[in-house]
């Protein structure tokens, strides 16, 4: 899988601004980033049975892998890691890219996932991160699946924005892939509300393998955060029940809204309340052209069609999302 060279040229231009361009001396990356990159490059080849069974050790970060960029406007360098094009870092969704935003004396991991391309663009004076992701994360028929985000200094994270192709109705595509639990289920992001984390864990059920064969799998509810839908500026959540072992998930998803700030960045991790329960066999999209985002309840439609959605609005009087 090849990187989109034109889009990476935009990133290179942003990095040149940080170094002063021309013959100016480049920013020196913090030792922690240097160690992290070298550790990842070298650790992949470790053979505990014979540690000498490996290619030569990398002792310097390869050119173009670690670059200074400017995202949050604080005058301090942010750091972009363009992991090398290899089976170690690449898959059907592209190659890994990691973006760390400066935060006082430390950094915040703001973007960390596979991407087919990665660009920094400015829209209406707002700097945005845009990536092309796996086509399964977009509607059918799109030649390129783009996702865009802008840095939110209050929430200390990237927030969803319309992409450069004009698409603003989204689903999924988090900016950071937190990996998997030992059982293969997605790992939850930091500051997930405890009530929802506990509900997800309690939903786990062991489903034996079909036809009496050995093995089986753990099925549990899906849980992920979404843009603010009730206008308080804090992230909200979708909770999708797991369903029975003998049938695909079919129960309606639930929308939980954050009701008060929590201990995490931007009030993350606060108390939540149930705001909407969808009918069976529905899924959620959200429209991010305006803020707060508009949540859409979507049902199946003929293959190849853009399935219409029913928009929900926030009713402050009842504390619910309504049609």
Q: Is 11 or 288 the better-scoring residue by pLDDT?
A: 288
User: Are residues 106 and 247 both part of a single domain?
Assistant: no
Q: Which helix (H) or strand (E) holds 320?
A: strand 320-322
Kind of pairing, strands 282-287 and 272-277? unpaired
* Average pLDDT estimate for 195-211: 86
Residue 260: predicted pLDDT? 95
Q: Do residue 49 and residue 154 come from a single domain?
A: yes
Positive or negative torsion for Cα 291, 292, 293, 297: negative
Provide the sign of the torsion angle of the four alpha carbons 57, 59, 62, 67, taken in this order: positive
Structurally, the chain folds into a number of domains equal to 2
Residue 267 has phi, psi (to 5 degrees) of: 85, 10
Half-sphere exposure of 205 (CA within 13 A, CB side): 13
The Cα-based distances of 257 to 64, 235, 316, 321 in angstroms read 41, 8, 12, 9
- The CA-based angle 150-156-157, given to 5 degrees, is 45
What secondary structure does DSSP assign to 14-39, as a single string? HHHHHHTSTTPPPPPPPHHHHHHHHH
44-58, 221-235, 249-263, 294-308: range with lowest mean pLDDT: 294-308
- What pLDDT sits at residue 24? 37
Do 51 and 165 belong together in one domain?
yes
Please work out, in degrees rounded to the nearest 5, the angle formed at the alpha carbon of residue 55 by the alpha carbons of 54 and 59. Answer: 115
Are the CB atoms for 170 and 147 separated by under 8 Å? yes
Residues 201 and 164 grouped into a single domain:
no
Whether the predicted pLDDT of 15 surpasses 50: no
Two structure tokens written together for 228: 């603010």
- Select the more confidently predicted residue: 142 or 176: 176
Query: What does the alpha-carbon distance between residue 145 and residue 155 come to, in Å, rounded to a whole number?
Result: 26
What integer pLDDT is reported at residue 307 of this predicted model?
A: 83
What 3-state DSSP class applies to 6? helix
Q: Does 278 lie in the same domain as 211?
A: yes
Q: Are 31 and 153 in the same domain?
A: yes
Q: State the pLDDT confidence band at 212, using cuts at 50, 70 and 90.
A: low
pLDDT at residue 213 tops 70 = no
Specify whether 30 is located in the same domain as 125: yes
Question: What pTM does this model have?
Answer: 0.84
Residue 70 located in a structural domain: yes
In a domain, 182, yes or no: no
Using DSSP, state whether 170 is helix, strand or coil: strand
C-alpha distances out from residue 99 to 9, 11, 96, 206, Å: 16, 12, 10, 37
Are 120 and 221 found together in one domain?
A: no
pLDDT of residue 26: 65
Distance CA 307, CA 297 (A): 10
For residues 163 and 28, state if they share a domain: yes
Mean pLDDT of 255-259: 96
**Euclidean distance between CA atoms 1 and 288, whole angstroms:** 30
In a domain, 141, yes or no: yes
Q: Are residues 17 and 156 in the same domain?
A: yes
Q: What does the H/E/C string look like for 64-92?
A: CCEEEECCCCCCCCEEEEECCCCCCCEEC
d(CA 321, CA 186): 27
| Any domain includes 175 | no
Per-residue confidence band for 137, with pLDDT thresholds at 50, 70 and 90: confident
**116 and 242 together in one domain:** no
Among 170, 203, 219, residue at a domain's last position = 170
Q: Distance between CA 147 and CA 48 in Å, rounded?
A: 40
Q: What is the DSSP letter of 290?
A: S
Instruction: Tell whether the model's pLDDT for residue 12 goes beyond 50.
Output: no
Domain boundary among 135, 170, 205: 170
Average pLDDT value for residue range 232-240:
93
Q: How confident is the model at residue 136 (pLDDT cuts 50, 70, 90)?
A: confident
Question: What pLDDT does 19 receive?
Answer: 40
Q: In this structure, is residue 110 part of a structural domain?
A: yes
Domain closes at, from 113, 136, 170: 170
Residue 206: inside a domain, yes or no? Answer: yes
Residue 25 has pLDDT above 80, yes or no: no
Residues 11 and 110 in one domain: yes
Predicted confidence at residue 186, as pLDDT, reads: 80
**Contact call for residues 258 and 275 (beta carbons, < 8 A):** no
- Alpha helix (H) residue ranges in the chain: 5-19, 31-43, 194-202
Structural domain that includes position 133: 5-170
More confident site: 211 or 169: 169
Asked if residue 180 belongs to a domain, the reply is no
Residue 215, C-beta contacts closer than 8 angstroms, at least 6 positions apart: 208, 209
Q: Does residue 178 fall inside a structural domain? A: no
């Amino acid at each position: 899988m090849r990187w989109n060279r034109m889009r990476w040229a935009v990133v290179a231009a942003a990095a040149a601004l940080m170094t002063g361009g021309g013959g100016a001396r480049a920013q020196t990356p913090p030792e922690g980033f240097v160690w992290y990159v070298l550790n990842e490059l070298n650790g992949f080849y470790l053979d505990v049975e014979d540690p000498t069974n490996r290619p030569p050790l990398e002792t310097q970060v390869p050119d173009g892998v670690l670059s200074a960029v400017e995202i949050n406007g604080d005058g301090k360098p942010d750091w972009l890691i363009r992991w090398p094009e290899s089976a170690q870092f690449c898959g059907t969704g592209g190659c890994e890219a990691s973006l760390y935003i400066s935060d006082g004396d430390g950094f915040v991991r703001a973007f960390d996932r596979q991407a087919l391309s990665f660009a920094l663009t400015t829209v209406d004076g707002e700097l945005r991160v845009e990536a092309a992701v796996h086509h399964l994360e977009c509607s059918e028929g799109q030649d390129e699946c783009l996702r865009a985000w802008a840095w939110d200094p209050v929430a200390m994270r990237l927030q969803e924005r319309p992409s450069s192709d004009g698409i603003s109705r989204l689903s999924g595509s988090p900016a950071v892939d937190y990996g998997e639990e030992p059982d293969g289920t997605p790992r939850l992001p930091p500051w997930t509300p405890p009530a929802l984390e506990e509900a997800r864990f309690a939903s786990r059920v062991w489903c034996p393998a079909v036809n009496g064969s050995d093995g089986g799998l753990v099925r549990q509810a899906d849980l992920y955060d979404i843009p603010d839908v009730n206008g308080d500026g804090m992230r909200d959540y979708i909770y999708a029940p797991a369903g029975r072992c003998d049938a695909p998930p079919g129960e309606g998803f639930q929308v939980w809204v954050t009701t008060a700030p929590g201990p995490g960045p931007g009030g993350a991790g606060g108390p939540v309340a149930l705001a909407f329960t969808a009918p069976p066999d529905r899924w959620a999209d959200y429209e991010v052209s305006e803020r707060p985002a508009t949540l859409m309840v979507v049902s199946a439609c003929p293959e190849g069609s853009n399935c219409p959605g029913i928009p929900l609005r926030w009713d402050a009087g009842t504390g619910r999302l309504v049609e």
